[in-house]
Amino acid sequence: MGLSDAMIVGALTTFATQYSHPSEVNMNTAARVTGSTAPSIKRPHRTLRAAALIFGIGWCAISVVAQESEWIRPQKAGDPLVWGRRDGIVFGLYSQGGIRGPRGLLRVGIFLPETRSPELLNFIAVEPVVAGAGARFDRMAFSELEMSQLDPGQRGKRMWVDAGSASVDDAVRGSFETLHTGKATVERLSVRIDVERFTQNGAHVYVVASVDGDHPNELRLRVFAERDSPPLDELTLTATMGNYERLRLLWLKDHVVDSRQLFPDYDGDAFVEQYNYPLPEMLRSGDGDAIVFCTSNERDPGKTPGNSTAHWVYTLPRLTQYWRVPGHDVEPDLRVRVNARRDYWASKAPVLGGIAFENFEVRERFVPGQTFVYGITEQEPWDFYRGSSHLAPFVEQAAGTVSPARN
């Protein structure tokens, strides 16, 4: 719980009045707080001690406010459903005044100091695959495409924060917990997001989204099935709007996949996809985490000629987007999957600069509580990555294209 400015001023005023005045201080007041007893005594020379006490309290209060100020979260029911960090990632749900976009999707973005508001970067959809016979596609469902049964006539499954036994105001604020990592302590803000039951396959799931204070650029997403859900093979989370930043480069362990080279002859207006990239092709960190990066080929997408008149105008800095699976959650069948589009979604407008990756995801066998981390950074993959593989920058070629370096 943070302290308001009024609370800080009031506390400092109270302590200044009680502990710096040259008259008597009743020590029984302190005794009641500590559980001890003491007689009333006079302390005529305590100005320095009082000053030190006031300074200490003020410093602690200011520290609490400064720490709290980095967090973004609703304060009461009816506020925009946006959570995260001013110095990192933000996420949200469809809500009045919230981050723009359709229903059935988690919004992910960053907080821009110049606009003092959260700005959209990508969407994350929920795609459960039930167990059983038949093709994977026939057993899966799409959170943003299905019609809602709870809100008739609306496309996109409802996603919400259920108060449960808590008050509605407390529920929308999310919950803070303190993690102890060695001698350090880390604050984590978590929000449970309920998802309407899927009609296509009957899956009933929920997601716990959280951000850690020491990793402000990462959104941790833990996935669960409700008790009344049919068994699941997979519970995939997919970043769905790569065409916004025009992501064209997929960074794997020993090479980079370029969407324009992967689909050079595709001229349709649908999704196109081709390969899974299995675990042995993924980058690994020193801790055993599996990671995959996706970036634009453009040096600064917001300043690329034609961006200002594109169907989707990119307004953010150049960012590296990535999925990271913690080592303890890596399953043997973990794999990367992307698809691409030549035209922007729901339009006939060609993607500026050519075909780009749209959906960017990792898939693996469902285990309740497994964690998928979606991250963003202004660093390039070769600067951000820490592991045994060697990543190198691209060499620019003519006409704005690039040649992927193989290592």
Cα distances (angstroms) measured from residue 216 to each of 7, 53, 114: 28, 33, 19
Comparing 183 with 161, the larger pLDDT belongs to 161
The string of pLDDT tens digits covering residues 89-110 is 999 999 999 999 999 999 999 9
Q: Is the predicted pLDDT of residue 403 greater than 80, yes or no?
A: no
Distances (CA, A) of 91 to 100, 240, 394: 11, 14, 31
Of 292, 276, 284, nearest to 388 (Cα)? 284
Report pLDDT for 17: 35
DSSP letters of 258-297? EHHHHSTT---SS-EEEEEEEGGGSEEBTTS-EEEEEEES
Per-residue model confidence (pLDDT) at position 164: 79
3-state secondary structure of 63: helix
| Res. 58: pLDDT tops 50 | no
- pLDDT tens-place string over residues 276-313: 999 999 999 999 999 999 999 999 999 999 999 999 99
**What is the band of 163 on the pLDDT scale with cuts at 50, 70, 90?**
confident
Q: Can you give the pLDDT at residue 114? A: 84
Residue 137 has pLDDT above 80, yes or no: yes
In whole angstroms, give the CA distance from residue 312 to residue 285: 34
Predicted pLDDT at 50: 41
- Mean pLDDT, range 378-407, rounded to an integer: 72
pTM summary value: 0.81
Q: Residue 398 — pLDDT band, cuts 50, 70, 90?
A: very low
3-state secondary structure of 151: coil
Residue 269, CA distances (Å) to 138, 185, 345 in order: 22, 50, 9
pLDDT at 395: 67
pLDDT tens sequence across 334-351: 999 999 999 999 999 999
CA–CA dist 32, 30 (Å, integer): 5
